[in-house]
A and B are shown apart, each in its own frame.
Chain A
Amino acid sequence: MDEYLKEMADILDEESVTANDRLDDFNSWDSLAILSVIAMADSRFHAAFSALDIRGATTVGELYELLSKGTKAS
């Protein structure tokens, strides 16, 4: 989870992020951030997610739960 939070902070252009942070509150939560998350899912979780799947998550922590569950769609 710590590694994940670090990577999410980098993707969102923030110093740090927490599991409770809402994704929509970040100005940087855009198509590029979502593609970066999809790439992270591929390399870190060996899973394929669609942009729609990713948009389904509300918080940083919820997104972690989603990615941990593995391949959902493509």
Chain B
Amino acid sequence: MKLVYRGKRIEGLLAIIPANERSFLDEMDQFDFPRGRSLKLKEVMGYDRHRIVDGPVCVSDLAVAGFEHLFGRGLLGRDDFDALVLVTQSPDYFMPATSSVIQGRLELKHDMFCVDINQGCAGFLVGLQQAFMLLDQPAIRRVALVNADVMSRKVSTRDRNSYPLIGDAASITLVGRCDDDAPIHANIKMDGTRRDALIIPAGGFREPSNPDTRTQHTDIEGNLRARDDLVMNGSAVFNFVQTEVPPMIQALLETAQVDVDAVDTYLFHQPNRFMLQKLADKMEVPYAKMPSNVVEHFGNSSGVTIPLALALNLRERVLGGTLTTVLGGFGVGLTWSSMLLPLGPLEFCDIIDYPQVS
């Protein structure tokens, strides 16, 4: 599906990551695999360190800390935004919405549109699209888009397939209107028939959590996990990404009539370095234009990886100027989406730790 927006821009971005850092080398003995093979996995996938919450930290905790930072530094006024869009798959509660929890904890004004969106690796794209649509309402001057997940709490520590790459994080992206009326092109596709490729089978209403679903079993590859834990079909996801993403980007650039070389940066979701480099090879994009180092620094925090890739690699360039950027998100659903937009100059583009060490 082709989408087009006008007169919208990203104003600033803050990422919040748990201060708790774990390393693959310290964790690899918890997996039932020979050390040599785990080291090979580390080398091929680009695993090194990741940030995961220490204890029962929730999405709203990370988000509230981020907003307090913005309010305290004068980067955002408490009354200067009219919608709070939260994209998460690890909400504080089944009900109420975690966006309402954040609004309440911050004691924000009542003249506020709050909504939760259940999206993962394409969540930054889906969230931006929602923010752009909300900004067509005159009463909404600015949207705070929050991407946040604490998915490490739903991944088995003995699952070598998922645990080494998982990361927890949140980001707050301020989205507003601007005078530039040039079209912002985007596209999105979904395929719910492949919903099992990334799933937490139990714990919802379909299969409520019980002692059986909490019991860990060994899979065909030697990973231990329970039905309450996240399970990823790695090869299905790999094939999905390599098959669907290159034609999607090609279609986006054709619609926008922009040459592949005219793009300054391809900011894609960060599943692992291996998959991103295969993608760059296939699209014939130089590695320097497609950051792939978020997993080795922070882990894969689903919808937060694009903000992290930006803040980690391109902070100075988006603070000082404008980058012709292609955003790409792909994952759970399955969902895949991309957007071409001018990024910058941003008012801020920072990463802070939770809890903050001051």
Interface residues of A (CB under 8 A from B): 13, 27-28, 30-32, 34-36, 38-39, 42-43, 48-51, 54, 74
Q: Contacts A35-B235, A42-B242, A48-B242 known; A30 to B33 CB distance under 8 Å?
A: yes
Contacts A51-B235, A74-B240 known; list 10 others, CB within 8 Å. Answer: A30-B222, A32-B41, A32-B44, A35-B238, A39-B238, A39-B242, A39-B278, A42-B282, A43-B278, A49-B239
Judge whether A27 and B221 touch: CB under 8 Å.
no
B236: interface (CB < 8 Å): yes
| Complex interface residues of chain B between 231 and 287 (CB less than 8 A to chain A) | 233-236, 238-240, 242-243, 274, 278, 281-282
Sample (22) of A-B pairs whose CB atoms are under 8 Å apart: A27-B37, A28-B37, A30-B33, A30-B222, A31-B161, A32-B44, A35-B234, A35-B235, A35-B238, A38-B235, A38-B238, A39-B238, A39-B242, A48-B239, A48-B242, A49-B239, A50-B236, A51-B233, A74-B236, A74-B239, A74-B240, A74-B243
Closest chain A residue to B240, Cβ basis: A74
Closest chain B residue to A41, Cβ basis: B239
A42–B33 CA distance with the chains assembled, in angstroms = 26
Closest Cβ of chain A to B39, distance in Å, is: 11
Q: Contacts A13-B40, A31-B161, A35-B238 known; A48 to B33 CB distance under 8 Å?
A: no
B residues near A34, Cβ cutoff 8 Å: 235
B residues near A27, Cβ cutoff 8 Å: 34, 37
**Pair count A-B, CB < 8 A:** 54
A residues near B221, Cβ cutoff 8 Å: 30-31
Contact size range, B: 20 to 34
A29–B90 CA distance with the chains assembled, in angstroms = 35
Q: Contacts A27-B34, A42-B278 known; A36 to B44 CB distance under 8 Å?
A: yes
Closest chain B residue to A31, Cβ basis: B221
